[in-house]
């Protein structure tokens, strides 16, 4: 088989396989935002898209039965916290090493004095912030643009 033919064959197969790989990776119609995963909440490395705005963290969004969930992991994959949301109602799930250090709208958790704050995730509906304190990392989930 001549080399030119082999090259053309390999190139043709690569061009055909490329869209197929894209569909396997990222389900959707190509015009809408990435769909939230429906399984994997609480896992170290869920099969979901990492949506974090900060490379130090991994943030995953899930949706099931009309409820949206956001999970934050550290760079080692340790689950740090997860929250649930229906509309404007938020709650902290008993998941992750920082589950007792999360502030959401409507709860009375107070974040202690901190030396840095970083927004690690944001959508048009909510933002997730991590605060570095003397007692460890604390988290805040806020309605978008309230910082």
The predicted-structure confidence for 92-140, as pLDDT tens digits, reads as follows 999 999 999 999 999 989 999 999 999 999 998 899 999 999 999 999 9
DSSP reduced 3-state for 132: strand
For the chain, give every domain's residue range: 57-143
DSSP SS3 for 147: coil
Model pTM above 0.75: no
33-37, 42-46, 58-62: least confident range: 33-37
Containing H/E element for 140? strand 136-143
Gap between the Cα atoms of 44 and 61, Å rounded? 14
Closest CA to 135 of 115, 119, 107: 115
Q: How far apart are CA 93 and CA 115, in angstroms?
A: 26
């Amino acid at each position: 088989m001549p080399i030119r033919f082999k090259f053309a064959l390999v190139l043709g197969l690569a061009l055909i396989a490329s869209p197929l790989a894209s569909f396997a990776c990222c389900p959707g119609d190509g015009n809408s935002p990435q769909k939230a995963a429906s399984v994997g909440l609480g896992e170290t490395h869920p099969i979901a898209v990492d949506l974090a705005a900060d490379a130090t963290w991994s943030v995953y969004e899930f949706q099931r039965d009309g409820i949206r969930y956001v999970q934050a992991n550290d760079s080692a994959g340790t689950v740090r916290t997860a929250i649930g949301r229906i509309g404007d109602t938020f709650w902290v799930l008993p998941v992750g090493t920082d589950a007792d250090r999360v502030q959401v709208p409507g709860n009375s958790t107070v974040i202690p004095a901190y030396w840095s704050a970083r927004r690690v995730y944001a959508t048009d509906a909510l933002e997730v912030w991590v605060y570095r304190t003397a007692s460890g990392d604390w988290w805040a989930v806020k309605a978008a643009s309230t910082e």
